Structure 1
Amino acid sequence: KSLPAQGAALTIIVSDHDFAAIDGTISEINERGFLVEGSNVYGDNAETIWLHPDPKTTIIDQNGKTLKASDLKAGMTVRSFYGPYVALSFPPQSSTNYILVNTDSANDEQETEAGINGILTEKTDGRISISGQPSNPDGYEYVVLAIDGDTQIVDAQGKPLTSDVLNEGRRIEAQYVPVIYPALPHADKIVVSDASAPRVEGTITASERTTQDHLYINVGSDQSTDNDIILNISKDTQIIGLSPDEKLKPGTKIVAYHSILMTKSIPAITSAEVIVVQPDITLPFESPIKG
């Protein structure tokens, strides 16, 4: 071995003093840029800054490969050069012209899967909503997941199924990799149960039997009382679409998924598992005067 050590230079950066640089970790990403938390390369002081790449920004990984801005992920460590102008916002913001990124640094975070065991409450093109119990304490009780041809869908015995079985009310268990908003987590595997949760749609109605823990539901929001039910609300009941300072009250339209166990009384009584509050849509005023 020679002294001093010798090697091939992969990249040489000549810095203009009008520019600054940060060593840190990407903690958040949006459509405009990414948030880096770390320390200033030249001053060694702690720093947090939003950086905005443009189409001409050079991004190179640890192997010298050129990347695109869309390749950047939360958890990656970067050295990013920015400036000369910095917006005095909180945190500050600037454009970045050169980024060195370690793509391996995000692997551990990306490989950690999350899961949820619950009820499928909504299905639209390419996505499903699930409400239930997370597989780990840091998980979410309500998630929206993207599904596509790469999503493995099986029954409890491992037999492959198609996405046609993913109907509202179906009990499922889903595995996914968490990502930073606005990206949508992808459902990697879905185990479909044979059971479905009964579903009712109606309006909460004032009644002598209505309390904070017992809601009288006018099923179908009609004039008939023959099919109405009373929902027992417990600490395990999940309520979706209601802000923290709001409460369920008469006049609120809901979709509810409940236990298969119901009393034979009139109205029947059962326990609510998931309640989805429907948006209050007010039709625009239409003038009776015709032109």
Structure 2
Amino acid sequence: MNKRNWMIAITAAGVLTTSAVAGASSVVEKVSGLLRGDVTVTVNGEETSLHPVYINGKAYLPVRDTAEALGYELSWSGKQLQLSNAAEEEEADLATISGVITSVTPTDDGYRLDVIGHGTNTWILLTADKDTVLTDAEGKKLAAKDLKAGMQIIAEYGPIVALSYPGQSHAATIQVQAQRLVKEEPVYAVTKTDDGWQVQFAELKDGVETPTLTLNAGKETMVVNAEGQPVDWYQIKPGTKVRAYYGPIMTKSLPPQSPLYVLVVLQDMPDAESVKEYRSLAWTFVPEEQKSHLTTKQDEAQVVYADANSAGILPADDKQKKALAELAANGSKVIAVTYNTDQDALLGPLTVVINPETKELIGYFMRM
């Protein structure tokens, strides 16, 4: 609670208790005063029912009524009067995040949790210590040492958050919802379904890539980058490196299936606004004779960063050849916008390459 207290010594002149008295050491004597009903007291421009008593030329007001008129609560303790501002006695606001712990690091006085999820901040570093209230989904108490990467949690933190990136704060409460399984590797296949999306992972068996796990994503599934920023599902293609938090329930089918809760895209990608901009820009650079072959819609193209020195980039002209060489010499990135076509089996997808500095067309990735 935030509370502002005002301490008033009883020996201070200017307040009256139940009767008008003046005290000196252990001597108490009765005094008389004049109640002035014709004198009114106003607070913030509003008239009150208070009327002063004049004693020896000084005006006195009853302290309890005066405190109430000023918006304070009065309490008497020993030789002090304590005034508390009731309007300021309110809980300090705490922020909330619902997500997963991506890492746990021991510190001198507790544990530092790297958390991504939904909330005031989508990425936050939280400190869990002896003052953190830790429970599981049933309310059973847990210890900070029990926290592990992959746990899905709901945490309250603050009110102070360090102005860093990501923000850092103290966890007031943490409720562990479940322990999820974690898989980090490139996507084998991604498919849109009637209920959401399906992500598959595979392993090489006898020289053939064989699906080993299918994860089903719904509306509740979070798809974010490593900083907790949302990622468009269409940004995820075969080969995109991800970290999936799923399960622990799995079917006994082949391959087994499990619900997907959080998918973290580890590949370096532009933010959502930039993706939208580059999709619109790249569409203008698609050759007209190729548009009839595209199977990817304009707003479904994958937009990623690529090294300027990547093999296979064919500059559009000599000017762009020079620009590409300068970007490569500086170790810079280019923007690659990829469209699938009905000729992929023969030629591969069509990838437009854009200069992020000038927004000009650099060229295209070589097709087979």
The TM-score, its normalising length taken from structure 1, stands at: 0.46
More helix by share: 2
Higher relative contact order (CA 8 A, sep 6+): 1
Larger radius of gyration: 2
